[in-house]
Amino acid sequence: MLFRNSLTYLLFFTLSVVASMAQADVVVVVSSKSSITTLTSEQTAKIFLGKVVTFPNDQPAFPVDQPEGSEVRDEFYAKVTHKNSSQLTAYWAKIIFTGEGRPPQLLSGNVAVRKAIANNPNAIGYIDESAVNKSVRVVLTP
Amino acid sequence: MNKKYCLVALFWLTVKIPLAIAAPNDNQNTGAEKSDAAPVALASHTIDSPTFTYGGFGSLGVSHSSQDLGDYVLESTMPKGAGRSYSWSASNNSRLAAHVNANFTPKVSAIFQVITEYHSDGTFRPEIEWANIKYALTPNAYVRAGRIALPTFLDSESRDVGYTYTWVHPPVDLYHQLIIPSSDGVDAMYRFEIGEAENSIKALYGTNTLDRPTSVSTSNDLWGIFDTLELSRTTFHAGYQRRNSSSQNLLTGVIGPWIPNSDLSFGALYDPGDWFAMSEWIQRRSKSKVEAMYISAGYRINKYTPYVTYSQNSTGSFLPGYTTPTAAEFKSANRSQSTVSLGVRWDFMKNTDFKLQYDQVTLSDNSNGYLINVPANVNLYGSTFHVISAVVDFVF
């Protein structure tokens, strides 16, 4: 009897480890020194797609990206802009090759994004929820 | 009883252990900084020396037409195509471009783009598509001077970047009406928000010289005004462009009269992400008036985007105020055809896609459509043929 329960338990344990590692809850953050407290998905999408260069309060907005192919980046863009990575590449290709603009600056990962944002009240980025600390404020959980 | 407590304890561990593995423990970061944890400065707003970024795009494709008494071409500049000249044509869908972007100061930048594609003289020689300097008055307004690709129709400026659209090529029945690809002159753009929507308006002025094997076409007083309104998932576009053009026959030396040309275009696109629908309508006026339209829709499942398009162009109707059209002019005004296209785009790899498209083209009465190199007196009026194309697009 104990043996049977152990097996089921082992299965449950494995599944929950896998599930919590696969779960990358992305959040959108600004510096804790920023005056922005909340943003909608639409407003965030416009900033990251280069359609607007200011926050709704007319302060300059400086978006930063994570590397292409990273899970947190793909999840952010899928949830906020409804674009997968090919659609996003096609979107920026059209803008770059017609001389209309360029994509956000690329930083190396969650901690790099958080540190850069903490130091710049105009910056906005997306990181894994687990990387959030007091130096940044969550303005959107997509 | 014992087993129950055991299970509860094990359950608690099950929750705690994965969380500890997945979450970095900030308490560990006291003392020396880790390698990627050093503070990163964001790009400052002053640039000391020009920064250059390089990139490019291309397409490699083949197409086959079932109509071997004429050539099926995508653009009016192509001298040969699939059908009569080539059973399988690689010229329709193959091109390669190199692009440089230079940022001199936060407000001054320049782009330069060279493309090799199938030209009117039958070669693939490189040609400059874009070469201009931009001054950004604000992040929402700029002026540019130099060579600027014309935004005559919705996808005109980016018609060569296959990776940016779903089809093998923007619908031919409409885009074949694009005669002048770029302007050497100036343009200005201003964008602003109207409530939740963004509106961008562009004005352009310049000239163009189009070299063909047996003629040179000069366009002066080329000007246009173009507006794009984006609201959430919907985009509306309207454009009006005019020019005065005259063509010199290089064989006889005769210079034709200046003819005013105008292009009026309207387009709409709805793209919520999982699927899209778009439509465009244009009216071109020179000595005759022609209209063309298309409607297209597709949906995205995983890496595949199947799509369908219907397009057509009208027979040209001659406008008053010109001399009576000659037989040759009548023939070139009667190029009405319609096309049903079915295809699929497969984003199989990063920055690369593969497309397969089937077009069924129906020529109108009194029309050979856009087919070229049809032997004199061969009459394909009213007939139907099909084209199959397979293309790989890439960006880098």
- The DSSP secondary structure of B69-88, one letter per residue, reads TSEE-SSTT-S--EETTBSE
Which among B275, B13, B273 has a CA at the least distance from the CA of A81? Answer: B273
The pLDDT value recorded for residue B46 is 46
What token pair was written down for B44?
A: 């400052």
Is the pLDDT confidence value at A138 over 60? yes
Is the pLDDT confidence value at B83 over 70? yes
**Averaged pLDDT for residues B93-102:** 96
The pLDDT value recorded for residue B76 is 87
Q: Over pLDDT 70: what percentage of chain B?
A: 88
Is residue A113 included in any domain, yes or no?
yes
CA A65/CA B244 separation, integer angstroms: 46
For the ranges B93-107, B123-137, B208-222, B314-328, the lowest mean pLDDT is seen at: B314-328
Distance from CA of A93 to the nearest CA of B (A): 7
Indicate the number of domains in chain B: 1
Q: Does B378 touch chain A (CB under 8 A)?
A: no
The pLDDT value recorded for residue A93 is 97
CA B99/CA B53 separation, integer angstroms: 8
Please give the residue range of the domain that contains residue A123. 24-140
Instruction: Compare all CA atoms of chain A with the CA of B23 and give the residue at the minimum distance.
Output: A130
Distance from CA of B101 to the nearest CA of A (A): 8
- Give Cα separations from B120 to B210, B212, B237 (angstroms): 10, 6, 30
Is residue B174 included in any domain, yes or no?
yes
Q: Which residue has the tokens 């929507």?
A: B197
How many residues are given for chain B? 396
Is the pLDDT confidence value at A13 over 80? no
Is residue B29 included in any domain, yes or no?
no
Element (H, E) at B337: strand B337-349
Element (H, E) at A19: helix A2-22
CATH of residue A91's domain is 3.40.190.10
**Averaged pLDDT for residues A35-43:** 95
Is residue B39 included in any domain, yes or no?
no
Which amino acid does the sequence have at B247? S
CATH of residue B304's domain is 2.40.160.10
Which among B172, B384, B181, B385 has a CA at the least distance from the CA of B292? Answer: B172
Q: What angle, 0 to 180 degrees and rounded to 10, lies between the N-to-C axes of helices A2-22 and B2-22? A: 20
Is residue A18 included in any domain, yes or no?
no
**Averaged pLDDT for residues A35-53:** 95
Beta bridge partners of B227: B201, B238
Is the pLDDT confidence value at B48 over 60? no
- Give Cα separations from B343 to A15, B188, B374, B391 (angstroms): 40, 37, 27, 11
Is residue A9 included in any domain, yes or no?
no
Q: Does B57 touch chain A (CB under 8 A)?
A: yes
**Residue B28 binned pLDDT confidence (cut-offs 50, 70, 90):** very low
**Residue B49 binned pLDDT confidence (cut-offs 50, 70, 90):** confident
Mean pLDDT of the residues in chain B: 89
Which among B53, B237, B263, B252 has a CA at the least distance from the CA of B152? Answer: B263
The neighbour count for residue A98, using CB atoms within 10 Å, is 19
**Residue B23 binned pLDDT confidence (cut-offs 50, 70, 90):** very low
Tell me the residues of chain B between 311 and 340 that have a Cβ less than 8 Å away from chain A.
none
**Averaged pLDDT for residues A84-93:** 96
pTM, two decimals, is 0.86
Is residue A96 included in any domain, yes or no?
yes
Please list, in sequence order, all residues whose beta carbon lies within 8 angstroms of the beta carbon of residue B23, skipping any fewer than 6 positions away: A130
What Rg, from alpha-carbon coordinates, does chain B have?
A: 27
For the ranges A14-28, B192-206, B296-310, the lowest mean pLDDT is seen at: A14-28
Nearest CB among A9, A112, A131 relative to B7 is that of A9
What token pair was written down for A129?
A: 């929820």
Please give the residue range of the domain that contains residue B300. 48-395
What Rg, from alpha-carbon coordinates, does chain A have?
A: 18
The pLDDT value recorded for residue B25 is 40
Max mean pLDDT among A27-31, B77-81, B230-234 falls in A27-31
**Residue B120 binned pLDDT confidence (cut-offs 50, 70, 90):** confident
Which among A106, A100, A62, A64 has a CA at the least distance from the CA of B101? Answer: A100
**Residue B333 binned pLDDT confidence (cut-offs 50, 70, 90):** confident
Tell me the residues of chain A between 27 and 56 that have a Cβ less than 8 Å away from chain B.
42, 46, 51-53
CA B280/CA B284 separation, integer angstroms: 13
Could you tell me if B113 and B158 are in contact, meaning their C-beta atoms sit under 8 angstroms apart? no
CA B219/CA B245 separation, integer angstroms: 4
**Averaged pLDDT for residues B228-241:** 95
For an interface test with A, the pick among B35, B42, B350, B355 (most A C-beta atoms closer than 10 Å) comes out as B42
CA A35/CA A30 separation, integer angstroms: 9
Indicate the number of domains in chain A: 1
Q: Which residue has the tokens 């960006």?
A: B395
Which among B75, B78, B76 has a CA at the least distance from the CA of B86? Answer: B78
Is residue A15 included in any domain, yes or no?
no
Q: Which residues of A touch B235 (CB under 8 A)?
A: none
| B26/A112 Cβ within 8 A | no
**Averaged pLDDT for residues B229-246:** 96
Is the pLDDT confidence value at B26 over 50? no
Tell me the residues of chain B between 135 and 194 that have a Cβ less than 8 Å away from chain A.
139-140, 144, 149, 157-158, 161, 163-165, 193
**Residue B88 binned pLDDT confidence (cut-offs 50, 70, 90):** very high
